[in-house]
Amino acid sequence: MPIQIEWKHKLPILVIEYSGNLTSKEYYDMCAKRQKLLDEGPEQVVVVADTQDLEGFPENKIIELCETIINHPHLSVLLVVLRKNLYQNLSRSMLGKTETLWRVNFFADAEAALNEAERLVARY
């Protein structure tokens, strides 16, 4: 399955792993499941989205994006794991501004993102 979505142990960390080529149906199904889990979950959730193995959307049509996770009231922070080359390009262009507080953080390594998620929820 191209998308795995589950709670990490019993912590308020929702892990979403993307792989391969997604269809629009898989994308919309993930959005609905993610929304349900966030709605029913704790009031502060750290989401780790691992996109390192995501190849893309194979369908040659524009899909309508589902409701953004960024606006969900239970989202504390979103940690996105990117392929190393994309992470390096992004970090050079926007992440060097340390005075900016981001609700989204980017990582080149899934383990580092999960470690940060666990550090964050320990403060709750």
When computed from its CA atoms, the radius of gyration of the chain, rounded to whole angstroms, is: 15
Q: How far is 21 from 1, CA to CA, in rounded Å?
A: 10
Residue 94 has pLDDT above 90, yes or no: no
Q: Which residue has the higher pLDDT, 3 or 103?
A: 3
| Each residue's pLDDT tens digit, 22-79 | 888 888 899 999 999 999 999 999 999 999 998 887 665 666 777 778 889 999 999 9
Question: How many of the other CB atoms lie within 10 Å of CB of 90?
Answer: 14
Q: Look at residues 13, 15, 12 and name the one whose alpha carbon lies nearest to residue 3.
A: 15
Q: How far apart are CA 19 and CA 59, in angstroms?
A: 15
Question: What's the token pair of residue 43?
Answer: 């009031």
**Residue 94 token pair:** 């926007």
Return mean pLDDT, the chain: 83
Question: E strand or H helix at 112, and its extent?
Answer: helix 110-121
DSSP state of 71: G
| Range of weakest confidence among 45-49, 57-61, 82-86, 115-119 | 57-61
pLDDT at 49: 92
